Amino acid sequence: MAFVYRSTTISKVCIHAVEGLKHCCRFLSTAENKSTLPLSGIRVLDFTRILAGPFCTMLLGDLGAEVIKVERLECRHGDYNNCLTGDDTRTWGPPFANSESTYFLSINRNKKSVALDIKSDGGKEIIRQLASTSDVLVENFVPGTLDRQGLGYEDLSAVNKKLIFCSITGFGSTGPYASRAGYDVIASGVGGLMHITGSKDGEPVKTGVALTDLSTGLYAHSAILAALLQRRQTHQGQWIQCNLLSTQVSLLTHIASNYLNSNVEATRIGSAHASIVPYQAFETSDGWLVVGAGNDKLFANLCKSIGHAQLSSDERFCSNHCRVNNRKILVELLSEIFRPEPTSHWLQVLEGSGIAYGPINDLPQVFSDPQVRHMEAVQTVQHRAAGEIKLLSPAVKYSGFCSGKMTAPPVLGEHTVSVLRDILNYGPEQIEELKDSGCISELKH
């Protein structure tokens, strides 16, 4: 990945009105749209990388917060050609969009990038100054890392008593695992998710996306919003601690309750549900169909729709309790019914039945699905290095404001100079001096 040093301009904001909310958006200009967002005026100092933290701060940016992503800059003796810089996921690939990691692009929209050596005296001073002007700081270093740099919660809350400091770790800040590095797959193993994921006779498997990471980001996002609300009353910030293991254990929900209250151990059962039958995937002649009948009435509807009404009155299947006890027999019968016909046939048969059902789509099918297209789940933006790229839209829509605006993920160090100049009032000479010392850099393809 090659970089040159030159001045930059801020990426253009791409506005997409959300169909169904045009009455509130009315194709607002960028400035008007930003002013209507609930976190407009909130500044977030983002020291996160990988997934959980960047996902959290991206969601805050979607709601209008100014997110300043501080990325690692380590250059030896001013040798800018041998810098180790940026969020780790900038190098995660292939695939790449030109030279940009598509992984990084997926979770860093609506942010500004500052390339900074936080170990240098100049870098530390910049961080303290940014913290003094920020509302929220989010970090996901191994516990104690920022404290050793004089940049931990106690240090920065002394600079800004209203600062909300959110730490995201693998296993928490105390306890026997506190010093361990935390990755989703490890936490999902320790926290039981892999134990219950996979086919009955197969090995434990991880989920297709990092659900523990993403859920931790969601927890952190909502915790920060709660802390912002409380700060309106107390005028004080606080330290929020989120970790992957606590998230994963909390997500065990009914599986945990089964064990804790009835001493029932969980097992891997593929796409099936431990307490509801039928509630799983069935193979068709050309793919797979997912069917869920959550109560006896829905099961009767299912049986009638597929032309086997007699199954619902069979004493082995007349109640969910009976169906769970006779799961193997019923699933084999339903499999024989579904397998001969294509998925499209069953989609047509079940339309309007009240049954929960759907195909198992591959990605081309997902993004050509009429409901997905109706929701405008994809937006196109212009990236300064990758060109035109497609990003997923925010999942939540609001009647009171339009959250459809989006800026492209930043190039590494794209906003270093503008942040120092416009937020901290650094002059040109001071900025050049910091560049020469290796404390900061403005990197561009």
Residue identified by tokens 């892999």 is 194
Q: Got the DSSP string for 333-369?
A: HHHHHHTTS-HHHHHHHHTTSS-EEEE---HHHHHH-
Asked if 240 and 165 count as a contact pair (C-beta separation under 8 A), the reply is: yes
- Between CA 349 and CA 357 the distance in angstroms is 11
Q: In Å, what is the CA distance from 393 to each residue of 106, 406, 410?
A: 10, 8, 17
Q: Got the DSSP string for 288-342?
A: EEEEE--SHHHHHHHHHHTT-GGGGGSTTTSSHHHHHHTHHHHHHHHHHHHTTS-
- What is the DSSP-derived secondary structure letter of residue 140? -
Asked if 392 and 377 count as a contact pair (C-beta separation under 8 A), the reply is: yes
Residue of 117, 213, 286, 296 marked active site: 213
Q: Which of 56, 43, 72, 87 is nearest to 168 (CA)?
A: 56
Check if 213 is active-site: yes
**Terminal Cα-to-Cα distance of the chain (whole angstroms):** 8
Task: Please give the angle made by the CA atoms of 289, 294 and 297, to the nearest 5 degrees.
Answer: 105
- Sign of the Cα torsion 105, 180, 56, 232 reads negative
- Between CA 96 and CA 241 the distance in angstroms is 33
Which residues have a catalytic role annotated? 213
